[in-house]
Each structure stands twice: as structure tokens, then as C-alpha cells.
Amino acid sequence: MSETRTILLADAARNGSRRRRMPKQRTSLRHREARFGQFFISGYTLLLLAFGIIPALYALYLSFTRNGAFVGFENFTRIFADYRFWPAATHVAVYILFWLISLIVVVVALALIVHAIRVRWISASARFLYYIPGAIAGASSVMLWLFLLDPTVSPVAGLLRGFGLDTLVRTVSIDNLPVIFTIIAFWTGAGSWIVIMYGALNNIDTEVMEAARIDGANAVQTAWHIQLPMMTKWISYMGVMSLAAGTQLFVEPRILSQATRGVVPEDYSLNQLAYLYAFRQNDFSGSAAISIVLLAIALILSSIFIFRGKLFESD
């Protein structure tokens, strides 16, 4: 009896010691995780400072000065009075409107369709096919589309002529450019977003999906009431990133301008206009003012996506 009591007392002592050690172990684990987290974000923080925050602060300084002297809002007044500013701002606004609507609607719809495919190899093949155009990005994709849009060499010349576009000049007229740039951007960027949205759909709890099926919800009802609300953060993230890319429209109109010998104007977008201010007119203050305007617009619109999409709220 005394031996049993001794064993029980020893077990109790061991358990007590183990319980006292567990909070210390958890604290140590959290500290270790925090140190790893700080290590991983340190590189990004340095790059953000070097290529994001410090250049933005320098641009802010330039936008309120001229030849080193403080001039208040004079640089902003000057660019707003420039006859090229508002047409360029309109071009970018129309392009972003087309680009964001087509991206959000079509990408989400395609991701839902691919996710609903039950045959695994078909689903994987569809994701691969969507992702391939993303490998041809930037100037190379514009060069490829330049051949596609030229009815004299394009493999889809019949389709272009069907729309009355029998020359490259007519195809890349100013009125058609927002649609053309939207198609190019969608072709190069949508595939990676479809894969990301597919991953977001896979994160939805299978028990929730099973409960919807048991309740008799069809595919459309499940997508509308279950999947879309649970993808809101991912859609907001896509909106923020695409908005940032859209406001920087430069390469596409620049290459088309050179290829068409001026049919597409050199000041088509705000980024191009800022480039002309800096390197043609040697007016870095005006160029900085345009960049600050673009930054302010991007921050305001991104804030709408962040707060409406509850991007930083934890579940």
C-alpha cells in the first residue's frame, strides 16, 4: 500500500513538473516563431524602404519644390493645366475600369468552374493552360499582340476584317486601345489569378460544402452564398494588386506608339506623360507631381478594396 502511494506521489510530482514546464516551452516557441517572422520580413522591409518609401518621400519633396525652392502647389496646378493631363488621366481611368471588371468577373467565374470539375486531370490541364500565357509577360507579350493585331500578318486577320479593322492603324485607334490593353493584360495576368483563386476555393472547409449539398444547394447557389463570401479577401487582394499594376500603364502604349509611328500618342497614359516631363522637358518637379497624383489615386481606391473586402480582418 505504501509502495502504491509512493508511486502515485511520484507520478503527481512528475505531472506537476511537466505542467510547470509547458508554459515556458510555449513561450519559448512563440519567441522562436517571432524571431523567424522578423527574419523573413526583414528583407522585404529593406527593399520596401529602398525602392518604395524613400523614393516616394523624395518624389513628395520634388513635387512641392522647384530648383530647391518651396513652391507649394504650383507644380500640381501646372500639370492640371497641361492640355495632355486630363486626356491621359481619362485613358488610364477607362482602361482600369475595363481591366478590373473583366478581371474580377471572369477570373472568379473561371476559378469556380475549374474547381467544380470533378475529373482531376481535366481540372489540372485547365489550370496549366490558363497559366501558360503568364510566362510571356511585359514587352514580349505586347510584341506578340502587335503581330496578332496587324491584319496583314495576323492569323486572325479574317476576324479583324470582320470588325472592319483592315489595317494596324485602324486596329490601334485611340477608341480601341482600352479594350486592346485590357485583352493584353487579361491574357498575361488572368492565369496566375485563376490558380490563386483555385487555391482559395480549396481552403474552404469541406464540411461547409458538404452541409450545403445536404441542404440541397445547387452549384450556383453554393457559389453565390458560400464560396464567393469566403473568397472576398482574395478578390480584394486581386483588386488591390491589379489596380496598382493598371495605374502604371506604360510599356504597352509606349511600344504601340513606336510600332505605329505616332498613331498611339507618346502621352497616352499618365506614366508616359511623367516620363516626358522628366526626360524631354527636364522638369522633374512636374514629373514628381504626376507620380504623387497617381500614388494618391491608387491609395484611395486600394483603401476601398481593403476596407470593403475586410482584407486585414482575422476570421
Tell me what pLDDT residue 170 has. Answer: 85
- 239-250 pLDDT, tens digit per residue, is 888 888 888 889
Grid cell at residue 234: 482574395
User: Does the pTM exceed 0.85?
Assistant: no
Domain count, the chain: 1
Mean pLDDT confidence for 36-56: 90
Mean pLDDT confidence for 172-189: 87
Residue 180: inside a domain: yes
Q: What is the DSSP string of 111-170?
A: HHHHHH---HHHHHHHHHHHHGGGGS-THHHHHHHHHHH-TTT-TTHHHHHHTT--SHHH
Residue 43: inside a domain: no
Residue 251: inside a domain: yes
- 104-131 pLDDT, tens digit per residue, is 899 999 889 888 887 778 878 877 777 7
Identify the band that residue 138 occupies on the pLDDT scale cut at 50, 70 and 90.
low
3-class DSSP state of 65? strand
Tell me what pLDDT residue 1 has. Answer: 45
Tell me what pLDDT residue 315 has. Answer: 61
Residue 12: inside a domain: no
Angle made by CA atoms 276, 281, 286, in degrees to the nearest 5:
75
Residue 275: inside a domain: yes
Identify the band that residue 159 occupies on the pLDDT scale cut at 50, 70 and 90.
confident
Residues 6+ apart with CB under 8 A from 41: none
Question: Is residue 127 within 8 Å of residue 198, measured between CB atoms?
Answer: yes
Tell me what pLDDT residue 14 has. Answer: 60
CATH number at 99 reads 1.10.3720.10
Mean pLDDT confidence for 254-260: 84
If one compares 276 and 141, the residue with the highest pLDDT of the two is: 276
Question: Is residue 204 within 8 Å of residue 228, measured between CB atoms?
Answer: no
pLDDT at 222 over 80: yes
Grid cell at residue 69: 525652392
CA 168/CA 146 separation, integer angstroms: 9
Residue 183: inside a domain: yes
Task: Give me the percent of the chain exceeding a pLDDT of 90.
Answer: 27
Mean pLDDT confidence for 53-79: 93
Residue 202: inside a domain: yes
Tell me what pLDDT residue 220 has. Answer: 87
CA 181/CA 163 separation, integer angstroms: 17
pLDDT at 252 over 60: yes
Q: Which domain holds residue 289?
A: 75-137+175-309
Residue 63: inside a domain: no
